[in-house]
Amino acid sequence: MEQEEQNIDYAKPVRPPRALFSRVMSRIKTEKQLAAAWRRAVYLSIALGASAAAFTSAIIVLQGALFGSELVRVLSLVFSDPATILVDWQDFSMFFLESLPVMSIVLFLAALFALLASLKYMAKNIAIVRSWQIVNSK
């Protein structure tokens, strides 16, 4: 009995494989990156929703400004009497530019740019998350 206790006391400790520490640290780093990607996905989803709402509002504002301006009558003149426009093209172009709702167009383009940028970053982030999920599922 005493002999068995002696053997147990002097047994060699089990050593983990050499690559275990690096694999564990690599997995922890990957999980941190995946968690950060998920956080970015949440933030980008909120940004995408906000930019989609801004884009919808910008479309409504632009539509109201276009119908409120003289632009519809100017464009109807293009189709009804193009000879007059060709004769007085400088005056017509100046009147056309003056009747454009510039601020509404700028607002629309800014909202469009924000929506497209949100979509771009969201698609990129989803691709990163999906690739990590496919690699980690194996």
- Other residues' Cβ atoms within 10 Å of the Cβ of residue 125: 20
Per-residue pLDDT of the chain (138 residues; tens, 9 = 90+): 555 555 555 667 778 788 888 899 988 998 888 888 888 888 989 999 999 999 999 999 999 998 888 787 888 888 888 888 889 889 888 988 888 899 999 999 999 999 999 999 988 888 877 776 666 665
Alpha-carbon gap, residue 122 to 126, rounded angstroms:
6
CA neighbours within 13 Å on the CB side: how many for 97?
5
Alpha-carbon gap, residue 26 to 22, rounded angstroms:
6
